[in-house]
Amino acid sequence: MKSFSLPLLLSAAGLLAACGGSDSEEKEKIDYAAFDDADVKKLVDGGDYEKALEIIKAQDEMEISDKADFMTATEIYLSLMDGVAAEVAIEKARDAGASEADVSISLGRALMLQGKFDEAENILKNTEFEGEDKFQAFLLRGDISEQKGKSEEAVEFYEAAAKERPEDFRGHLGLALLYLNNGQLDIAKGYADTAASLIEADPIVSYVEGAIARYQGRTEEAKAHLLKATELHKRNMLAYFELIGLYIEGGEMDAAQKQLDAVYAIAPNSPMAQYYSALMLAIEGKPKEAEYLLLRTGDFTRTFPPAARTYGHVAFELGKYSTAQPYLERSLQRAPADRPTRLMLVECLTRRGQPARRFYI
């Protein structure tokens, strides 16, 4: 790529927009060949992934891209949790001269995001890693083991990563996330504190600290950590969703909506965001509007237990007892002590002429 000043190019693009013309005309006038690696990196660092990918795609079409460009695209797609697009970018990087050593870790991540855990694991098992890559491989194998539900194995890999580089926060962070997901909050907090002590500011560390504080009942501390997490990384979806849940629990609907707006700006079709919007509508006594949003999430109401509960309650409020019943039953399998859900299920069964005795408390 040629060297060129990014500010000058952006200023030129701004002038073109001010003068009018269609988006396609403006793109035609942009000299994509003038962007160098440093320009693209600035865009990525600033969170403007769309523009960075636009430049890489344009240069690919002009046949002036190199393996570094495709690896940058890979990292963007991985950060966006798009494993399929990341794998495609990796194949292009290979075609441009990237070695197996260059792509193995990224390919493992891409496959993991697609749920191809065994394929990812085989790549990591059959590749010799050194230095940073060895550390990354331990972390990734820990992630894969956790996704496969092998918690003890995941602990071993994260501990191996922490032993390989005790001064690096990421091994401790992996353990903190694992114990957080398993509900072992005190242990999680210990590892999160260690991770935080090893880095001045990291969005995922702040997210973990906030999530732990939330579930331990330290509400104000949780808000502070989670808000910091979103400030450090504007696309930190995990932190946004924890904040939204926290605000809804506290009845702070305006604050929850503000965070939801931030999520929709990043991911307009996010099923999780639509679920939270539906939950807020249900709380506000608008079951029909809530049902409309929940139906738009597709399988999400079946795969995400809180969404199943909300849909069951909404369908019940709308008098759709046969629809509500399986969702209420699914919710009770996860939380059998949920009395409001249990009473709704009893009513559904009674209205449908089915025995409900075993559901009475």
All structural domains of the chain? 265-361 (1.25.40.10)
User: Which letter does DSSP use for residue 34 in this model?
Assistant: G
pLDDT of amino acid 81: 79
Angle between helix axes 339-351 and 321-334 (nearest 10 degrees) is 140
pLDDT of amino acid 108: 94
7 pLDDT more than 70 = no
Confidence of residue 48 (pLDDT cuts 50, 70, 90): confident
Distance CA 246, CA 292 (A): 24
Question: Does residue 301 contact residue 311 with C-beta atoms inside 8 Å?
Answer: yes
Q: In whole numbers, what is the pLDDT of the chain averaged over residues?
A: 87
- Vertex 117, ends 114 and 122: CA angle to 5°? 125
pTM of the model: 0.74
pLDDT of amino acid 358: 56
Residue 272 region by backbone torsions, left for phi larger than 0, else alpha for psi between -120 and 50, else beta: alpha
- Closest alpha carbon to 94 in 109, 116, 73, 124: 73
- Closest alpha carbon to 13 in 286, 245, 28: 28
Residue 336 CB contacts under 8 Å (≥ 6 apart), including other chains: 342
pLDDT of amino acid 357: 55
**Token pair of 209, please?**
């600290």
**Token pair of 288, please?**
């029909």
**Token pair of 196, please?**
């935080």
25 pLDDT more than 60 = no
Ranking 28-32, 72-76, 85-89, 330-334 by mean pLDDT, the lowest is 28-32
Per-residue pLDDT tens digits for 104-131: 999 999 999 999 999 999 999 988 898 8
pLDDT of amino acid 354: 80
Question: Does residue 225 contact residue 207 with C-beta atoms inside 8 Å?
Answer: yes
- Closest alpha carbon to 43 in 9, 1, 19: 9
User: Which letter does DSSP use for residue 80 in this model?
Assistant: T
Residue 335 CB contacts under 8 Å (≥ 6 apart), including other chains: 305, 309, 341
Per-residue pLDDT tens digits for 174-228: 999 999 989 999 999 999 999 999 999 999 999 999 999 999 999 999 999 999 9
Distance CA 73, CA 69 (A): 6
pLDDT of amino acid 40: 87
Q: What is the mean pLDDT of residues 232-243?
A: 92
Strands (E), the chain: none
Residue 132 CB contacts under 8 Å (≥ 6 apart), including other chains: none
352 pLDDT more than 90 = no
